[in-house]
Structure 1
Amino acid sequence: MYSLILHGRRLVELHKWRHLRFALQNASPLSNSFSSAAAADVRSRDGRKGKNFTVSYLVDSLGFTTKLAESISRKVHFTDKANPDSVLSLLRSHGFIDSQISCIITDYPELLILDAEKSLGRKLQILQSRGASSSELTEIVSTVPRILGRKSITVYYDAVKEIIVADKSSSYELPRGSQGNKIRNVSVLRQLGMPQWLLLPLLVSKSQPVCGKENFEESLKKVVEMGFDPTTSKFVVALRMLYQMSEKTIEEKVVVYTSVGFTLDDVWEIFKKTPSVLKVSKKKILKSAETFLALGFSRAEFLMMVKRYPPCIEYSLESVKRKNEFLVKKMNWPLNALVLHPQVFGYSMEKRIIPRCNVLKVLLSKGLLRKKSELPAVSSVLSCTDEGFLNRYVMKHNELAPTLMAIFTKGRVS
């Protein structure tokens, strides 16, 4: 069945797998550092001023190059030095040296805007109360700074500590059972380039897929061969799907998808976009097709929608009916407009669809749309951010803007 999903489309990743199999047998647990995680996009109201201040602060206080400081300022910025100074002082008071602090801030710059005492100080105290020595504390936090952003910090700390200890000794014997498997498996994933933000949850996972051995190797081989990018969450989801499901079960799912009109290549493309579609039940797949067809969509349109946006096959059928009724019958968008943007069936009626459509109705009634009597594209109304929508349909109408804003916000559920 696996060959059915691939259907002649195995990517040329086999050479990578040969290295991977060697790594599985001789896996060296986590060494000096995890791959850096993609930092959250923290935006300040002070905008450019905050970024400029941040760049100057990082250069002056930590000795960063201007280029590195500018890169970090795109991820986090601040307008005064009080909080970052407190964070740096706290780290130094716990034995972190400047080179370690530089590594920590480079990998986890959000640390500079966290509360030094209530958040960071409390977590460091918890680790010390568990018997962590100063050298252990500084080494482990420097290796994986993002554990300071986790609620269950002790669990992450213990897992990372064991891996670092194992990494220092070639004679270290992996623990038996799931913990030993986890150390080995997470090491292999790191060697494939999986970033820290994906590895951390796997480190403390008590469930599949990283606690197994043979099944893990087999599932990982398939995911690599199928071309999933190990730096993305899709890789982990695909690994979990293939680990949890037998060949027979997956084959049965493929048969269901083909029974409603998808080709084997379609199934492959859908799985590549959204690996979780394999868990959708046979009943749900059939019922979803039945629902969309009953609403007036052709079978070809239904197939196109799922291929464009696979999650739509998992939507509540009642919700799909309700939104279709509103968008097609009350707003008069044609069915093919929804075919091109099936993700609209996942938007909230109360928070997004109704408020925006109410604004649109007013603009239509006053002839203020670019095409006086025509609805704009569904995507330009529903798929943009609130800010984008307001700029496009509210703020440009100066005198009417307060009224439109009131309509937009009225009755919205926060």
Structure 2
Amino acid sequence: SKLKTFTNLRRCYTATLFTQNRSVSSNPSSRILAPAHQSHYRKQILLANLLQRYGFPQSSLQHFLLRNNFLLNSDLAETENSLGVLLSLKIPQKSLVKLISDCPHVLRSEFLKKWRVPISDCGGFSLSSSAITSVLEYSSRIGIGPEKFHECAKVLKGLGFCDSTVSKILSAFPGVIAVNEIEIRRKIEFLIGIDIPRDNIERFFHIFPEILGIGTETRLKPLLDEFKKMGFSNDEIKKEVAREPRVLGLELGELSRCLELIKTLKCREVIRVSILSEGAFHAGFEVKLRIDCLCRYGLIHRDAFKVVWREPRVILYEIDEIEKKIEFLTNRMGFHISCLADVPEYLGVNLQKQIVPRYNVVDYLKLRGGLGCEIGLKGLIKPSMKRFYNLYVKPYPECERIFEKRKENA
């Protein structure tokens, strides 16, 4: 009889938990008032259900909760209220999930109590959701209060910046809320001093808001002096800065290293002429952008330099084309980014005309056991078109159809 009583109690508890979870899931607007005596496991289930309602993928919930135990110790009603506040700021669900994943402390009720009104008002600006999430994440990490945000908004408004520019600044460089007005005006004076027209200042900050975090005396002025020592005239510097404001984000010595790389390139003259067609300054900066792109995807700086030096054609490809090739390499072909250090030629050939058709043929043969050995990236890219065709396409009529079809589509 005791065993029956225990079994009945257990069934009753399980059924109650299931009923509560189901009612919570079916009614997103309901408040969760968790009893103080509920078990840790039950609270974890309720919290997981709550986060799922707001868009959290089930696959990442367990890891997220393990890393953020403070949420299990928080009141569930307050957590739900915090999620509601964030949602009321018109942050898209995907951005909301990313914000909470990257910076879960934004769910602390005391944090949102301070920020709800200031961020809703936005200092008179109509801010984008990305700007709002950046400000919340930055302030949560650094511990800066809304008063600094108000001061910053007042300064930017006083400069006459439009909503889109302010949103771009706060989104790309939320650290601006910690920059005082004197330093912001010093940046403007610096730009005017190098003959950037006053009516172009807003455009400049829109394109390169990160300049607000670069020291005028410690970085910007020494950088201009370096450009002059390298032989560039004031007019050349002004032209390049006006065309591409991000050149002021160069590190000291970085442009000279990029130009040295160009000087030592071993390539056909037609490629060299194309690289330098818009001047040495512009070419050096284009090298820097491609090295940065490779580093963003995981290559170390030394290997990125090596790739660009060994495959100069990469300088002539647009950044988005390079990114597509890298993503195809890692996501579709399954190679690691470090393979580029050994086969930099991959970045110098056309994605749709050469890489994709070759990969499809090799992948087809691999699935059907038609390859005697594994073909690496080198074996896929290095052979000439004729050799690749004779080795992997000509002997197999079905491969010829795949190969020709992809070429026609390209």
TM-score scaled by structure 2? Answer: 0.52
Residues 233 and 99 of structure 1: is their aligned pair in 2 closer, same or farther, counting only changes over 3 Å?
A: farther
How is 1:10-409 mapped onto 2 (pairs within 5 angstroms)? 93=21, 96-100=24-28, 108=55, 111-112=56-57, 114-120=59-65, 123=68, 126-130=70-74, 132-133=75-76, 135-141=77-83, 143-144=85-86, 146=97, 149-150=100-101, 153=104, 155-159=105-109, 163=113, 179=114, 182-189=115-122, 192-195=126-129, 197-201=133-137, 204=140, 207-208=143-144, 210-212=146-148, 215-216=151-152, 218-219=154-155, 221-222=157-158, 225-229=160-164, 232-235=167-170, 241=176, 244-247=179-182, 249-278=183-212, 279-330=214-265, 332=272, 333-334=275-276, 336=278, 339-340=281-282, 342-346=285-289, 347-348=291-292, 350-360=302-312, 378-380=315-317, 384-388=321-325, 390=346, 393=349, 396=354, 402=378
Asked if structure 2 preserves the Cα contact closer than 8 Å seen for 1:156 and 1:204, the reply is yes
Residues 282 and 254 of structure 1: is their aligned pair in 2 closer, same or farther, counting only changes over 3 Å?
A: farther
Residues 208 and 257 of structure 1: is their aligned pair in 2 closer, same or farther, counting only changes over 3 Å?
A: same
Partner Cα distance (2:85, 2:377) in 1: 51
Residues 106 and 189 of structure 1: is their aligned pair in 2 closer, same or farther, counting only changes over 3 Å?
A: farther
Bigger Rg, which one: 2
- Pairwise CA distance, 1:272: 2.5
What is the alpha-carbon root mean square deviation over aligned residues?
4.6
Q: Which runs of 5+ in 1 are unaligned?
A: 1-88, 164-178, 361-375, 407-414
Q: Equivalent residue for 1:411? A: none
Bigger helix fraction: 2
Residues 140 and 324 of structure 1: is their aligned pair in 2 closer, same or farther, counting only changes over 3 Å?
A: same
The CA deviation string for residues 137-184 of structure 1, in whole angstroms up to 9 with x for no partner, is 44433554538843653x322237853xxxxxxxxxxxxxxx4xx443
Equivalent AA in structure 1 for residue 306 of structure 2: I
Partner Cα distance (1:94, 1:230) in 2: 45
Asked if structure 1 preserves the Cα contact closer than 8 Å seen for 2:103 and 2:137, the reply is no
Partner Cα distance (2:251, 2:241) in 1: 14
- Greater length-normalized contact order (CA 8 Å, ≥ 6 residues apart): 1
Partner Cα distance (1:235, 1:287) in 2: 27
Equivalent AA in structure 2 for residue 129 of structure 1: N
Partner Cα distance (1:357, 1:213) in 2: 45
Asked if structure 1 preserves the Cα contact closer than 8 Å seen for 2:100 and 2:106, the reply is no
Partner Cα distance (2:202, 2:71) in 1: 46
Equivalent AA in structure 2 for residue 274 of structure 1: F
Q: Equivalent residue for 1:363? A: none
Partner Cα distance (1:213, 1:253) in 2: 19
Q: In percent, how many aligned pairs have the same letter?
A: 10
Partner Cα distance (1:94, 1:384) in 2: 47
